[in-house]
Structure 1
Amino acid sequence: MRQVVVLIGILVLGLQLRGHEYRNLLQTKGSMGDLNLTLLKKEQWIKYPAYSERAEWDKLLSSHKNEIIARGEKALDYKWQVVTASDYLEFDRSGSRDIMQKPFGENTAALEALVMAELAEGEGRFTQKLADGVWYFCEVTSWVLSAHVSRAQKENTALPSFRTNSIDLTAGDLGSLLAWTYYFFHEEFDKIQPLISQRLYTNLDERILKPYMQRSDFWWQAFYADPETMVNNWNPWCNFNVLTCLLLIEDDKRDLVEGVYRTMLSVDKFINYTKTDGACEEGPSYWGHAAGKMFDYLDLLSKATGGRFSIFDQPVIKNMGEYIAKSYVGDGWVVNFADASPQSSGGGKLGVIFRYGQAVGSNEMQHFAAHMNKRSEKSNFHSGRDIFRTLENLRTEAELNNAVSNITDANFVWYPETEFCYMRNKNGFFVAAKGGYNNESHNHNDMGTFSLYSDNTPMIIDIGVGTYTRQTFSSERYSIWTMQSNYHNLPVINGVSQEFGSKYRSKNISVSETKSSFSVDLSGAYSEDAKVKSWERTYKLSPNNELLIEDKYALSEIKGKNQLNFMTWGLPYIQNEGLVIVEKDGKQIQLKYNPKQFEAEIETIQLKDKRLSGVWGEKVYRLSLNAREMKLTDNYKITISK
């Protein structure tokens, strides 16, 4: 039996300390002894056909069989790429992640294509190439990405240490993929040479199971999280992959039980961190890796325990799921605070949303998934290297295709703990605003910002984030323009922009569903240099087509200039003093301001980053209203209409 670091779960119900509510929902379902009595054998909970059951595979894959085989055929000629030391070190040298990630990702994609193709065809045509891929990955020093290596080893470099096995998102994903590969094909590999399966098993044990069981210092495990500790999507994502490896390859029952329970202690930390309202502070595009991956974990745990360890009846779990449906604007656009992308096609997430909805009894989620599925022009079963999701998508595809298609256009949605507010009127305006604080996961300095959509077209926008580099998650993060408050829809106060840090947070939130309004004091997001005593911003959406933005402020002294900024997709033009027109894709909004208070200025921002230009095109714009005269107290009113 391997050496295990034992953690004792402390049950504290109902205690709210800042960012964490100590629900410990998984631990309340039973002890390690209960888990020992409950865990099923693999053949009892795995419902996929055995490799040899060809008729069952034909039934499961249905019309996708030829498509899956065709992908595998392309991989038959694939040349496994060597990821060199220089590729890893490029992250240290230039900050580029892609130099290492691109060949590594192409290698894992080829492996997944071969796995699925051999499951689909079952004639052994892909087995040798698949064995080559398995052997290749057993040969490489690390399964961890260059951007993540130094965080989990003593050596402060992107070059992985041969002394340390670490687990990051990609190592976990690859471990999960290889665990399923071992489960389905180890007997076929033995026909070629038993050393292949033996080495694969040993690699999974050495690279995933032992590090997880013997270390408690992976930051995402959060075993020692205090009320100030951020616990983000890494936690359920990595724990799901570890759980997969445990359930598929751990043959020692005692080690299996201890390992599974250890993942429960860790995932409880993520659920504890998440606010009761269920909103994903990382945004909709991270939902699939956060709440969505938590669902995968909970689903797998429930399957392996015959439903005994299930918490799908808990309101917070349902709230976490429904956030993805409620944050949908329309025509593929979603609310995109922080690093989230503003667009979502759904892809392999649609099956997750649908099954999540089934598990928690949410018609809203099921109908939303069906709606997104029907508007998609391609099949949505494939989930990249996540074999579990792909197989589950295939298993439930017919149900998704036959489900009721609908989206719920709520007029007002309020997340009271996370402080997200969505407002919609009958004339096609959708407004998303936020409070919160400036140290959320994937944070931008954006407390109090808003976005405005007209008939589902983004008009006043949140630009999002560019391609990830070393700078993105470093002390230099807020030197990047997309992270700064003056490139969000926020004021510069007394010449000062918002600051990063947990103490820079909202004050005096007020919402009214009947008035369709959201108010927040922005002053808490600015340093003392701003000399701001209060800055109450109110967004009020009329039943017709007008959004009123009102700023009431008080300064202790005047040191600089006030400036109101608005990021736009379409080119703004100043029709006359006091009126700016913004047009995009045949849609138009009018922004009115007091010309005695402000002078308008327009800046064109060229988008050279492909992650940004892929959404917005070659350029976006910043409309700045610069205060003509500074006062210690004043009241600004901006109206936006069609």
Structure 2
Amino acid sequence: MSLASRWAALSPAIRQAAVDSARDRVGVPDLLDRSLWESRPALAVLAQAAEDRGQPWPRLLLSDYARYWRDGVRTAYENPAGELRRRTSTAVLAAVLTADERYVDEAADGLLLLCEQTTWCWAAHESFATARGEVVADSPYLDLGAAETVEILAWADLVLGPALDDRVPGLRRRLREEADRRVLRPFLEDRRWHWLGLDGHLHNWNPWIHGHVLVAALFLETDVVRRMQVVDLVVDGLDRYLGALPADGGCDEGFAYWWNGPARLASALEVLDRITLGALDPWTVEPMPELARYPQRMALGDGWYVNVGDGSARPSPDQPWDVLHRWGRRTGDREVMAQAAAHRDQSTAAVVGLGRALVALVDDDWLQAAVVPLPLPRSSWLPDVQLLVARQSGGSAEGWALAVKGGHNDENHNHNDVGSFIAALDAVPVLMDLGQPTYTAISFSDRRYEQWVVRSEWHNVPVVDGREQEAGSQWRAADFAVRGSSEASLDLSTAYPGGKLRRTVTLDRRAAAIRVVDTGTSFEEHFVIAGHPVAHEPGRLVVETLGGSVAELHWDSALGTGQLEKRVVDDAMLLRVWGPAVHRLIIAGSNNRFELTMTRGHR
């Protein structure tokens, strides 16, 4: 039964009680419940809040907002706007943890600054002002920025309501007015927002925004009829997203965006489950059990992950792992719980979102969970998204790990990477996927593929008949076959404008090696390398990995050394992951066949 069907099957009385009693049922008490908050372990939050109080509040400037149109820079405005949200959330957390009036005042200052923003929408998403040829956005635009902001107002009102009434009477009225004008009314009155997915195109914006709209309605909307209208529409929207997800639990946006797609969905469903006192039970709706297994399937170890599209190979460790832990508890999946518990020592930080941080702080099962090793499955095959991940030994990050990707070139956050693969040694990528660069004005425009990191020539795929891959759903893998849990064979002819190519990639566990064999018409191999080349000769390249291991690449010495290029990395996001430079090895194929073998090397 679908999510929408389960919601509709609840009696009107149950649904009404859920919506009317949401503030009590969500399970996060307000500041006055000192018996709970005084026992919460949150030293990192309090240390950050104390540090914040000595700093000026972020300044949001029109000139920074306008840079998106002037020179394509998004971060000049988005970074301080994000810091304002983060600091306000931290102050709210510190206030409920300590009941210190100084932090209540600090939270109130941040909340009013959020209300005073001309727009909550990020410049890259705003189209109303753009249509007028302007950069001053004065009409509510319901995007990720608006959703992230209203989420803070909603949870702050839930946990600080009485204290705000005492210290700053009138602020809560202002919170409700801004939430109504900027979020709830646009959500109810305009159903053209692209992230609703009414055209069938679903991505992470859907659960991300719907989840925040849900808590805004439950905690800030005073009209019971409108509150129910919003909740009904949220359930419908989440159901649409669930229905578009692959049955194998894969995520074409990758692990980093999984936290803002399926994990956002889980957070929203958890709110609905709590307010219905478990009557909704969304955790068995397909493909929820499989979605929860995605992080363990993508983990390489030591903070490294298999990344696709705009995903980072080394995403921030500050993730709401408690969300995954509760998800595993509800589905009875011990390996999901173990994947989360391996990160239990991560601090509860405001960067994961105010609501997520508050829920984590009242989850005793999570706070008391024993830190355990990562599950690290021996092999995972996701046929719907066409992704094979195999490692040398299950449960261990030591040795080789291989990920082979099929798919097509019109995926969410797409890179032209059909048939590309990642080879990691001792958890650290050697032949890698660069992942997400810093977003600019061209990142999601018709100029997207001017960026070097998204082009196929900077992925581990050949150039065929002098042509690289192009963007579009027609460019895809065919006949993707998996043999013995560690070999992938796929036809890449349909991923290129011309020529023929078949690729077979194998993790040979017995030989502790990875082997790549390409056959077809004229092609030129491209391999993107992380780490430091230390020896290069005909048929051989030795690389010291970013983790300190040594990998050797071998090919037919008759093909020579190939061309080894060094590219300086000047993008801040890529620099953090890969260091100041990456390399690319280019080798011409011979006799329509090419074979590469990767083994562990020695110093």
| TM-score, normalising length: structure 1 | 0.87
**Change over 3 Å in CA distance of 1:119–1:537 after alignment to 2:** same
**Change over 3 Å in CA distance of 1:399–1:372 after alignment to 2:** closer
What is the match of residue 17 of structure 1?
Answer: none
Which letter does structure 1 place at the counterpart of 2:32?
Answer: S
- Output the CA distance in 2 between the equivalents of 1:594 and 1:406: 40
1:184 paired residue among 147, 156, 159: 159
- Output the CA distance in 2 between the equivalents of 1:171 and 1:37: 27
25-34 vs 328-337, which moves further? 25-34
**Change over 3 Å in CA distance of 1:206–1:125 after alignment to 2:** same
What is the match of residue 504 of structure 2?
Answer: 538
What is the match of residue 395 of structure 1?
Answer: 362
Shift of 1:192: 4.3
Tell me the SS of whatever aligns to 1:144. Answer: coil
Shift of 1:267: 1.1
- 8 Å CA contact 1:336–1:462 kept in 2: the answer is yes
- Output the CA distance in 2 between the equivalents of 1:171 and 1:116: 21
Which letter does structure 1 place at the counterpart of 2:137?
Answer: S
Shift of 1:46: 2.9
Tell me the SS of whatever aligns to 2:541. Answer: strand
2:268 aligned with 1:297: yes
**Change over 3 Å in CA distance of 1:430–1:157 after alignment to 2:** farther
- 8 Å CA contact 1:461–1:568 kept in 2: the answer is yes
What is the match of residue 581 of structure 2?
Answer: 619
- 8 Å CA contact 2:301–2:374 kept in 1: the answer is no
2:432 aligned with 1:465: no
Shift of 1:499: 0.3
- 8 Å CA contact 1:32–1:261 kept in 2: the answer is no
Could you list the per-position Cα deviations for residues 80-118 of structure 1 after superposition, in whole angstroms to 9, with x for gaps in the alignment? 444222221110001111111122122222211221122
Shift of 1:550: 1.1
2:494 aligned with 1:521: no
- Output the CA distance in 1 between the equivalents of 2:410 and 2:136: 29
Which letter does structure 2 place at the counterpart of 1:369?
Answer: A
What is the match of residue 524 of structure 2?
Answer: 563
1:36 paired residue among 15, 18, 25: 15
1:287 paired residue among 258, 279, 285: 258
1:444 paired residue among 406, 415, 419: 415
**Change over 3 Å in CA distance of 1:619–1:397 after alignment to 2:** farther
* Structure 2 unaligned residues grouped into runs of 5+: none
Could you list the per-position Cα deviations for residues 376-406 of structure 1 after superposition, in whole angstroms to 9, with x for gaps in the alignment? xxx4212426222111211225535433613
2:373 aligned with 1:406: yes
Map 1:326-345; keep pairs closer than 5 Å.
326-344=297-315
Aligned length, in residue pairs = 592
What is the match of residue 100 of structure 1?
Answer: 77
What is the match of residue 543 of structure 2?
Answer: 582
What is the match of residue 465 of structure 2?
Answer: 494
**Change over 3 Å in CA distance of 1:248–1:79 after alignment to 2:** same
**Change over 3 Å in CA distance of 1:389–1:161 after alignment to 2:** same
Shift of 1:435: 0.3
96-105 vs 431-440, which moves further? 96-105
2:527 aligned with 1:552: no
- Output the CA distance in 1 between the equivalents of 2:106 and 2:302: 41
- Output the CA distance in 1 between the equivalents of 2:308 and 2:23: 43
- Output the CA distance in 1 between the equivalents of 2:507 and 2:31: 58
2:44 aligned with 1:54: no
2:225 aligned with 1:225: no
- 8 Å CA contact 2:176–2:221 kept in 1: the answer is no
- Output the CA distance in 2 between the equivalents of 1:434 and 1:68: 39
The two structures, once aligned, show a CA RMSD in angstroms of 2.2
- Output the CA distance in 2 between the equivalents of 1:517 and 1:473: 34
- 8 Å CA contact 1:438–1:505 kept in 2: the answer is yes
Shift of 1:337: 1.2
* Structure 1 unaligned residues grouped into runs of 5+: 1-22, 556-560
What is the match of residue 635 of structure 1?
Answer: 593
2:180 aligned with 1:209: no
Tell me the SS of whatever aligns to 1:194. Answer: coil
- Output the CA distance in 1 between the equivalents of 2:359 and 2:164: 25
What is the match of residue 260 of structure 1?
Answer: 231
Shift of 1:591: 1.9
2:218 paired residue among 237, 247, 250: 247
- Output the CA distance in 2 between the equivalents of 1:275 and 1:412: 19
110-119 vs 401-410, which moves further? 401-410
Tell me the SS of whatever aligns to 1:56. Answer: helix
- 8 Å CA contact 1:509–1:519 kept in 2: the answer is yes
Query: Percent of aligned positions with the same letter in both sequences?
Result: 27
| TM-score, normalising length: structure 2 | 0.93
Shift of 1:314: 2.9
Shift of 1:523: 1.4
Tell me the SS of whatever aligns to 2:567. Answer: strand
Tell me the SS of whatever aligns to 2:321. Answer: helix
- 8 Å CA contact 2:319–2:352 kept in 1: the answer is no
**Change over 3 Å in CA distance of 1:362–1:637 after alignment to 2:** same
Shift of 1:194: 3.3
310-319 vs 271-280, which moves further? 310-319
- 8 Å CA contact 2:538–2:560 kept in 1: the answer is no
Shift of 1:78: 4.3
Shift of 1:277: 0.4
Could you list the per-position Cα deviations for residues 486-520 of structure 1 after superposition, in whole angstroms to 9, with x for gaps in the alignment? 11000000110000011111111111125x21011
Tell me the SS of whatever aligns to 2:526. Answer: strand
What is the match of residue 140 of structure 2?
Answer: 165
Tell me the SS of whatever aligns to 2:148. Answer: helix
- 8 Å CA contact 2:93–2:358 kept in 1: the answer is no
- 8 Å CA contact 2:432–2:528 kept in 1: the answer is yes
- Output the CA distance in 2 between the equivalents of 1:43 and 1:199: 19
What is the match of residue 133 of structure 1?
Answer: 110
Shift of 1:154: 6.5
**Change over 3 Å in CA distance of 1:189–1:401 after alignment to 2:** closer
- Output the CA distance in 1 between the equivalents of 2:73 and 2:130: 22
Shift of 1:562: 2.1
- 8 Å CA contact 1:71–1:117 kept in 2: the answer is no
- Output the CA distance in 1 between the equivalents of 2:133 and 2:585: 42
2:282 aligned with 1:311: yes
Tell me the SS of whatever aligns to 2:157. Answer: helix
Which letter does structure 1 place at the counterpart of 2:563?
Answer: E
- 8 Å CA contact 1:564–1:626 kept in 2: the answer is yes
- Output the CA distance in 2 between the equivalents of 1:249 and 1:166: 19
What is the match of residue 3 of structure 1?
Answer: none
Which letter does structure 2 place at the counterpart of 1:635?
Answer: R
Tell me the SS of whatever aligns to 1:440. Answer: coil
